Structure 1
Amino acid sequence: MAIPALPADYSPPASTSKLTPFITQPKGKLIQAGPAFLGHIRLTRHHDGDFKKYDAATAKEREQALAASGSGNGEEDDLGVGDESEDETLLSLDPKEWKKQDHYRVLGLSHLRWTATPAQIKIAHRKKVLRHHPDKKASDTTATALGLNLNTNDDAFFKCIQKAHEVLTNTERRRQFDSVDPAFLEEVDEVPGASDFKTKPPPFLPTFAPIFEREARFSRIQPVPKLAVPVEGDAKPSGDPNDIKGHEFPTLKAHVEAFYDFWYNFDSWRSFEWLDKEVNEGSDSRDDKRYTEKKNKSERARRKREDIARVRGIVDLCLSVDPRIKHIKLQEKEAREAKKAAGAGKKGGALAAPAAKSKKEEEEEKAKKEEEEKAAKAEAKKAKAAAANAAKKARRAQRAAEEEGA
């Protein structure tokens, strides 16, 4: 049944409903802007108002943007994290002992550790969750077909993943963990001692440069001066093992002095709260809590002192075997001798004979003075003896007079 067309003079009746608001043109000038307006312009001018062409062009642009971001298949770039192998020891970690676990290893960030960015931590955590979520194990049809029971309600490793993510996304707790990072502690044990430089000393720069770079992460002051002296016009350090050749003496001396001045006043943020002992479970005693807090505070202070002494020992050892120090001292000695020789050369000739004459006169005056002193001592000795004899004679005369009077 066809619907007849409306008459040409037809006009819709005015609405009498109180619920329908009266719409008027807003005051002011409308600005043609925004994503909707731009989309309308593209639709009408570039695609002739055809929505199919417009949708196809939009989808193509989206694919090109995803390909340019680093993933050709439309997936987000995973930054190459979270794909490390998982052995039985790692998968059997106890979530109750989460303070003893390596959080970087749990998330597959062992190769990055403290250099891992928040984006890398986020992506690694997402990968681990998708792989080890309890619901993922329950829905694994392949394992079910093989007769493997993966849904044992054992979500211990998943809890370890969540704890690792919680620690590494918290700035303060991550710093506490980085302070006692097990990988860092292993590297600290490999630092050479003074005895290693007595018999067959290793090359100076390749030995100490990585050590100071590792310790520099804990500095409150950044950037930290490097051990190697930068080459003029280049930010890279020199390739010389002893880092001496190819540098002007003033530049070398200034860099070395600034380096040791910084490390002898090293301000470290490294802390040891991570090793604090927890209050005994089930204990509500305030005395126990106060004792534990006091004990933890003293232990943190002790470990901090030991760490400062450890860094100071590394700096002392580096200073004692630094070939640049010997080179600087040798250059300073040569400079002093050259200056002394130059001063003596200026005085030479006519001044040499008077200098020798004055020296001879000084010796003669000294000998004459010694003779006079000897003579004076002899005269004083004679006068003292004469005075003693006179006193003796006086005493004898006095005794004789007394005997006669009696």
Structure 2
Amino acid sequence: MDYQTSCLLITYSPEIIDGAPLYVSSNCLPIKACKYEPAGHSFHAAALKLLGLGEQEDTETDDRSVSSDDKSQDFSAASDTFSSKGKKKSGSQQQDHYALLGLGHLRFLATEDQIRKSYRDMALKHHPDKQASLILAEATEEAKQAKKDEIESHFKAIQEAYEVLIDPTKRRIFDSTDEFDDDIPTDCAPQDFYKVFGPAFMRNGRWSVNQTIPSLGDDATPVEEVDKFYNFWYNFKSWREFPHADEYDLEQAESREHKRWMERQNAKLQEKAKKVEYARVRTLVDNAYKKDPRIQRRKEEEKAEKQRRKEAKYLAKKMQEEEAAKAAEEERKRKEEEAKRAAEAALNQKKLKEKEKKLLRNRENPSAQSCCTGSCREPLFSVRR
């Protein structure tokens, strides 16, 4: 027990170990506790050191580090070759699950009850025990074996079809890869707009997360309903999956790191495919919006209304300018009249003041006024001869 003195005593727990000291170490030193055994490579290495096997262990550790480096190099080399491993085979042909169950006329519209009923019928009809007569009808053993293999493979295909279509996730993936017309109408005559774009929107509506899909309507549809229709499609959300042929099969992963790398690569491919899909749907909506006669009619009405408001604004401005000019002319005339009246009043006032001054002078010198008025006709002085 000498090696215990080099360990740090951090706690004392009589409830757990009956009063015996509890020694706790880091990941390079052992834990000494009752009823517990060390586990892991680090604890084993520390135990070897405490037993005096440190030098040997050091050499072993060096050898182990070298081997680990080699393993890491091997792993990194293997990581570089991930791209060539685990890919799904692109040449494999996918079977038509709906046709195998006799639901080719319904396809994605088939309900779960219809799938179950059709599977029961097909399983009873094509069960290998029910097809024994076909095997016996063959002449040779090779032909009988080939017929038997054909019947069993067909029955297995029916079972696989049921397993795929009854599972919502698998069915969604299969429906995403099912035959579908991705074509987008680009141009059409105004009278053929609803015939061309109506089926295109109905066809793409199957991918909508929200299955309450508004209708394109007709020429008599109110403008509010038309706006709701285009708002729905401009905010379209698709549930469509894109399991490309070059995706990686997670079941073929060689390690956990390889599987995570596959998941990242698949996520990139899915994201890229979804962007392409949303761009395709957006192109459909843009083309329809440009060719929609109701939208064009509303744009023409808005343009005419805008022109009418512009002309009304121009006329109102012109009338306002004329009224302002008329008011300015009247104001000018009024000011001229006021100036004229003020000038006349000033002149009259001036004459009145002069008259008052004259009267005042006459009052101050009345003799001069009498002489000036002229009652005395004799000269003031005589001229000598």
TM-score (norm 2): 0.52
Partner of 2:170: 173
Name the amino acid aligned to 1:132. Answer: H
Whether the aligned pair in 1 keeps the contact of 2:184 and 2:283 (CA below 8 Å) is no
Partner of 2:95: 101
Name the amino acid aligned to 1:152. Answer: K
Residue aligned with 1:167, SS? helix
Match of 2:323 among 330, 350, 354: 354
User: Structure 2 vs 1, CA of residues 139 and 315 (structure 1 numbering), >3 Å: closer, same or farther?
Assistant: same
TM-align CA RMSD = 3.8
Between the aligned partners of 1:332 and 1:359, the Cα distance in structure 2 is 38
User: Structure 2 vs 1, CA of residues 159 and 279 (structure 1 numbering), >3 Å: closer, same or farther?
Assistant: same
Partner of 1:132: 126
Of all paired residues, the percent bearing the same amino acid is 39
Between the aligned partners of 2:113 and 2:147, the Cα distance in structure 1 is 31
User: Structure 2 vs 1, CA of residues 179 and 280 (structure 1 numbering), >3 Å: closer, same or farther?
Assistant: closer
Is it true that 1:210 corresponds to 2:199 in the alignment? yes
Instruction: Say which is worse superposed, 141-150 or 98-107, in terms of deviation.
Output: 141-150
Between the aligned partners of 1:314 and 1:359, the Cα distance in structure 2 is 60
User: Structure 2 vs 1, CA of residues 309 and 343 (structure 1 numbering), >3 Å: closer, same or farther?
Assistant: closer
Between the aligned partners of 1:274 and 1:136, the Cα distance in structure 2 is 38
Q: Larger relative contact order (C-alpha < 8 A, sep ≥ 6)?
A: 2
Whether the aligned pair in 2 keeps the contact of 1:138 and 1:151 (CA below 8 Å) is no
Residue aligned with 1:223, SS? coil
Whether the aligned pair in 1 keeps the contact of 2:248 and 2:262 (CA below 8 Å) is yes
Name the amino acid aligned to 2:199. Answer: P
- The alpha carbon displacement at 1:351 in A equals 6.6
Between the aligned partners of 1:273 and 1:335, the Cα distance in structure 2 is 51
Partner of 2:372: none
Name the amino acid aligned to 1:264. Answer: Y
Is it true that 1:255 corresponds to 2:248 in the alignment? no
Residue aligned with 1:110, SS? coil
Number of residue pairs matched by the alignment: 237
Partner of 1:268: 238
Whether the aligned pair in 2 keeps the contact of 1:134 and 1:151 (CA below 8 Å) is no
Partner of 2:148: 152
- The alpha carbon displacement at 1:209 in A equals 1.1
- The alpha carbon displacement at 1:139 in A equals 4.0
Q: Which runs of 5+ in 1 are unaligned?
A: 1-96, 229-237, 361-406
Between the aligned partners of 1:338 and 1:359, the Cα distance in structure 2 is 30
**Which of 1 and 2 has greater Rg?**
2
Match of 1:219 among 208, 217, 222: 208
- Deviation sequence 1:144-173 (CA, Å, 0-9, x none): 699984852331121111111001111121
Name the amino acid aligned to 1:119. Answer: D
Between the aligned partners of 2:127 and 2:134, the Cα distance in structure 1 is 11
Is it true that 1:113 corresponds to 2:107 in the alignment? yes
- The alpha carbon displacement at 1:178 in A equals 1.4
Name the amino acid aligned to 1:209. Answer: G
Match of 1:278 among 233, 240, 249: 249
Between the aligned partners of 1:328 and 1:303, the Cα distance in structure 2 is 36
Is it true that 1:290 corresponds to 2:234 in the alignment? no
1:326-365 alignment to 2 at 5 Å? Answer: 326-338=296-308, 353-354=322-323
TM-score (norm 1): 0.50
Whether the aligned pair in 1 keeps the contact of 2:190 and 2:293 (CA below 8 Å) is no
Between the aligned partners of 2:198 and 2:115, the Cα distance in structure 1 is 28
Between the aligned partners of 1:327 and 1:124, the Cα distance in structure 2 is 50
Residue aligned with 1:152, SS? helix
- The alpha carbon displacement at 1:206 in A equals 1.0
- The alpha carbon displacement at 1:339 in A equals 5.4
Between the aligned partners of 1:180 and 1:101, the Cα distance in structure 2 is 11
Whether the aligned pair in 2 keeps the contact of 1:177 and 1:274 (CA below 8 Å) is no
Name the amino acid aligned to 1:130. Answer: L
Name the amino acid aligned to 1:109. Answer: L
Between the aligned partners of 1:351 and 1:285, the Cα distance in structure 2 is 84
Whether the aligned pair in 1 keeps the contact of 2:185 and 2:287 (CA below 8 Å) is no
Whether the aligned pair in 1 keeps the contact of 2:177 and 2:243 (CA below 8 Å) is no
Whether the aligned pair in 2 keeps the contact of 1:107 and 1:164 (CA below 8 Å) is yes
Name the amino acid aligned to 1:153. Answer: D
Between the aligned partners of 1:207 and 1:268, the Cα distance in structure 2 is 22
Residue aligned with 1:267, SS? coil
1:2-401 alignment to 2 at 5 Å? Answer: 100-140=94-134, 143=137, 149=144, 151-154=147-150, 155-181=152-178, 183-184=179-180, 187-188=181-182, 190-193=183-186, 196-197=187-188, 203-228=192-217, 238=218, 243=219, 246=220, 251-252=222-223, 254-273=224-243, 276-279=247-250, 281=252, 284-338=254-308, 353-354=322-323
User: Structure 2 vs 1, CA of residues 340 and 279 (structure 1 numbering), >3 Å: closer, same or farther?
Assistant: closer
Q: Which runs of 5+ in 2 are unaligned?
A: 1-90, 330-385
- The alpha carbon displacement at 1:311 in A equals 0.8
User: Structure 2 vs 1, CA of residues 346 and 302 (structure 1 numbering), >3 Å: closer, same or farther?
Assistant: closer
Between the aligned partners of 1:347 and 1:294, the Cα distance in structure 2 is 66
Between the aligned partners of 1:273 and 1:145, the Cα distance in structure 2 is 44
Residue aligned with 1:266, SS? coil
Between the aligned partners of 2:185 and 2:191, the Cα distance in structure 1 is 9
